[in-house]
Amino acid sequence: MTSNNQKLITLISSVLNIDENSINNETSPENTESWDSFNALVMVSELESQFEVQFSIDEVYSVLNVKDIKNALIKHGTIF
Amino acid sequence: MDTPVKVFNKRSPDGFIDFLSLGKKLEILNSQDKLKIDSSINVAILSSSSMNGVSSVLTAQCSSFNVFSNIYVAEYGQYAQEIFNSESRLYSFNADLIIINIDFKSIAEGYGFLPYKETEEGRKSWLNETIVFFEGLVSEVTRKSSAKVLLHNLEVPVYSPMGIIENKETYGFFESVEDVNRELRDKYKLSNQVFIFDFNGFCSRIGKANVLDYKMYYLADIKVKTHFIPDLCSDYSKYIQSLLYKTKKCIVLDLDNTLWGGIVGEVGIEGVHLGPTPEGRPFLEFQKKLLALHSKGIILAINSKNNEDDAMEVIKNHPYMVLTEECFAATRINWDDKVSNLKSLVEEISIGLDSIVFFDDDQMNRDMVRTLLPEVSVVELPKDFSLYVDTLESLNYFEILSLSYEDTQRNKMYQSEKKRKKLLKNTQTLPNYLRSLNLSIYIEEAKKTTIPRIAQLTQKTNQFNLTTQRHTEKSIQVLANNNDFRVISIRVTDKFGDNGITGLAIISIKDAISWQIETFLLSCRIIGRKAEEVLLAYLINEAKAHNAKFVYGYFVESKKNSLVKDFYSINGFEKIDSTAQESTWRFDTKNDYKCPSYIKYKVL
């Protein structure tokens, strides 16, 4: 369970170029400067390839923070 | 502070995100003026779709060959405004390279979906209109800018509403797009300013089914999936490398398990794997690929731990040996360490360590060279030798924008150099040797055909270079057209062959009384033949003939030019000023300057 959590944190940290320890469920574009529209898309691409899932455009739009990313992944069968 | 090369050597980024974050880091360092880097280039990117990320990734990749790329990405879809408005950022940015990426989807909104709504004539006129459209953009941009232009061709679609009978049409949909590419290619074949980027080839290599991620396309108009942006940038960087003459010149090869399979010292000539067998073919084909590069002008050399006799027996007598003894400009087959061998090889071949690509199957040797000679590009050769050919093909070290005479003749020149060295051994004194060489020197002002080589010399010459001023083709062109300057090159030939253009002087004659030698350089290849004295004599005589009283020379110290620190002093100039790094020298034209009489020269 922790391994997927760690994988997600590492991924977000590398895409947004922020410290892993600063990432929590509430991390979002509002409180993270580097989470701009382009990095959001890069994150989608990386999530899809690393977790082997495909998100719909609706799902992409529904994500507002890290918690939402987890929920979207859970919906696709990833276990946290 | 780490130079970008060191950043790279620690851990080469392999994925998009790694490149992206390295690129961003470099951009920040550059904005704070903390980037130590060889040279920089201005690249403008005009695109019909989003090029997000390209800028940082390209910057990261350029840093691996010590170039900072300063990139301007125009708002996407704004390419026509940028090109047609003389006041646009595109032109004030002063680009060296302009990349134009206009993709099929964005210019064929209707046609791409409904190609068979048109008649055959309609498809032909789509072709003609498209060519006129591209031509219009290119002629405008080349009229307003002297930058090199890299124009994407179109991705040929793989889906047709006609399905499997698409190619039964008299004039089909795919055909019309292919014809755009064919016509663009033919139109700019002879241009030395416009280059066609084979985007269709790029998409095929990546896989047309993969290159577009529909979701990213609908969400953000991204037409090359971010995952493949490093591949795209790597293809772009080939043009940047060749524009800045970062191209490698020489491949240094190990022998055992590199040019053939097995260790010859253990298994003998009969036991090595080389030839049309499963274990031999990878090496056979690897040698063929190397031979093809060799014929394009890449120098080959050997650096191998072996008994020389064992190794030479394979090279001379193995029936499937593709590379013959004559293919190698120099060889080091001995038990010395690879680093000392590389150092003595570059001395013998007269090239810089930064022109070398090193192939060795042994990880320890590779690491040693990487650590001790960081200028050398060390190829990470895979353990599986069936991947050698693939590895060689994926390197982008050997790209050039045009084949110069010097490139095509290079290997002949090295063969001649071997003969010269033999002659020097057999003749007693240097003057006797030089006399017996029958040197001829051709002196010539820069012209269109010689400018690329002249720029190349200013970029690549480090040792015999008094001021180390680097120039681009563009800046040489400007100097050549300016009456205040003279750009004078020499071509050196002897009885063994033609060395091509190998020396250069750029003088400012703005002050008619005092001529100033701003650049004076000589290619390593001809150092020691007194060609520089002929060039200097010519400059001084010209100054006299134009009633100049003085000729000024400058020495600006660099890391590599200590060879010429006394050049002006030896040649009768008087030192009139100096600081720690620079000195100014003066020659009074009342004095005579004598150059060796046995060298014939001719002013063209």
Q: What are the residues of chain A with a beta carbon less than 8 Å away from any beta carbon of chain B? A: 14-15, 17, 37-38, 41-42, 44-46, 49, 55, 57, 60
Read off the tokens for B21: 């974050």
What b/e string do you get for B2-15 counting C-beta neighbours within 10 Å, with b at 16 or more?
eebbebbeeeebee
Q: Which residues of B touch A14 (CB under 8 A)?
A: 17-18, 21
Residue in A closest to B215 by C-alpha: A57
Q: Three-state secondary structure along B168-181?
A: HCCCCHHHHHHHHH
| Interchain contact B203–A (C-beta under 8 A) | no
For residue A48, tell me if it sits in a domain: yes
Interface contact flag, A41 B21, Cβ < 8 Å: no
What is the amino acid identity at position B564? Answer: V
Q: Taking the CB of residue A47, how many other CB atoms lie within 10 A of it?
A: 25
- Say how many residues make up chain A: 80
Q: How many domains does chain A have?
A: 1
For residue A80, tell me if it sits in a domain: no
Q: Hey, of A17, A45, A57, which one would you mutate to test binding to chain B, going by the most B CBs within 10 A of its CB?
A: A45
Q: Which residues of A touch B26 (CB under 8 A)?
A: none
CA distance B52 to chain A (A): 7
For residue A25, tell me if it sits in a domain: yes
Q: Are B293 and B347 in contact (CB under 8 A)?
A: no
Q: Which residues of A touch B220 (CB under 8 A)?
A: 37-38, 41
Q: Which residues of B touch A42 (CB under 8 A)?
A: 16-17, 20, 53, 226
Q: Which residues of A touch B28 (CB under 8 A)?
A: none
pLDDT value at residue B337: 92
Closest residue to B17, CB basis, from A15, A41, A60: A15
For residue A54, tell me if it sits in a domain: yes
Interface contact flag, B227 A44, Cβ < 8 Å: no
What are the pLDDT digits (tens) for B295-312?
888 999 999 999 999 999
Interface contact flag, A41 B222, Cβ < 8 Å: yes
> Which 8-state DSSP code applies to residue B127?
H
Report which of B208, B247, B242 is spatially closest to residue B224, judged by C-alpha positions. B208
CA distance B23 to chain A (A): 12
Locate tokens 């033609």: which residue?
A: B498
Residue in A closest to B22 by C-alpha: A17
What are the pLDDT digits (tens) for B369-418?
999 998 899 999 999 999 999 999 988 888 887 777 777 777 777 778 77
Closest residue to A49, CB basis, from B215, B219, B227: B227
Whole domain around residue A13: which residue ranges?
2-75
Q: Three-state secondary structure along B419-481?
A: HHHHHHHHCCCHHHHHHHHCCEEEEEECCCCCHHHHHHHHHHCCCCECCCCCCCHHHHHHHHH
pLDDT value at residue B66: 85
Rounded Cα gap, residues B548 and B451, in angstroms: 27
What residues in chain B have per-residue pLDDT under 50? 1-11
pLDDT value at residue B12: 55
Q: Are B550 and B519 in contact (CB under 8 A)?
A: no
pLDDT value at residue B533: 92
CA distance B17 to chain A (A): 6
CA distance B215 to chain A (A): 7
| Interchain contact B509–A (C-beta under 8 A) | no
Q: How many CB pairs under 8 A join A and B?
A: 37
For residue A38, tell me if it sits in a domain: yes
Q: Hey, of B11, B14, B17, B51, which one would you mutate to test binding to chain A, going by the most A CBs within 10 A of its CB?
A: B17
State the helix-helix crossing angle for B229-243 and B54-63, rounded to 10 degrees.
50
CA distance A50 to chain B (A): 12
- pTM to 2 decimals? 0.77
User: CA separation (Å) from B334 to B105, B251, B376, B501, B542?
Assistant: 59, 18, 20, 35, 51
For residue A27, tell me if it sits in a domain: yes
For residue A66, tell me if it sits in a domain: yes
Q: Which residues of A touch B218 (CB under 8 A)?
A: 57
CA distance A3 to chain B (A): 21
Read off the tokens for B303: 């650096």
Q: Sorting pLDDT into bands at 50, 70 and 90, what band is A2?
A: low
pLDDT value at residue B212: 93
- DSSP string covering B259-300: TBBS-HHHHHHHHSB-SSSTTTHHHHHHHHHHHHHHHTT-EE
| Interchain contact B52–A (C-beta under 8 A) | yes
Interface contact flag, A42 B17, Cβ < 8 Å: yes
Backbone angles phi, psi at B251, to 5 degrees: -105, 125
| Interchain contact B28–A (C-beta under 8 A) | no
What is the amino acid identity at position B188? Answer: Y
Closest residue to A45, CB basis, from B24, B218, B226: B226
pLDDT value at residue B590: 92
Closest residue to A57, CB basis, from B16, B24, B219: B219
Number of Cα atoms under 13 Å in the Cβ half of residue B110 = 5
Residue in A closest to B25 by C-alpha: A17
Listed by number, the residues of chain B in 450-489 with a beta carbon closer than 8 Å to a beta carbon of chain A are none
Q: Which residues of B touch A45 (CB under 8 A)?
A: 16, 213, 216, 225-227
Closest residue to A41, CB basis, from B17, B20, B219: B219
Interface contact flag, A38 B52, Cβ < 8 Å: yes
Q: Which residues of B touch A60 (CB under 8 A)?
A: 215, 219
Residue B467 contacts by C-beta under 8 Å, 6 or more apart in sequence? B518, B519, B520, B554, B555, B556
Interface contact flag, A44 B215, Cβ < 8 Å: yes
Q: Which residues of B touch A34 (CB under 8 A)?
A: none
pLDDT value at residue B81: 94
Parallel/antiparallel/unpaired status of strands B97-101 and B39-47: parallel
Q: Which residues of B touch A15 (CB under 8 A)?
A: 17
Rounded Cα gap, residues B255 and B257, in angstroms: 6
**Could you tell me the CATH number of the domain that includes residue A64?**
1.10.1200.10
Domains of chain B are 4-243 (3.40.50.1110), 250-394 (3.40.50.1000), 405-603 (3.40.630.30)
- DSSP string covering A40-74: HHHHHHHHHHHHT----HHHHHH--SHHHHHHHHH
pLDDT value at residue B288: 96
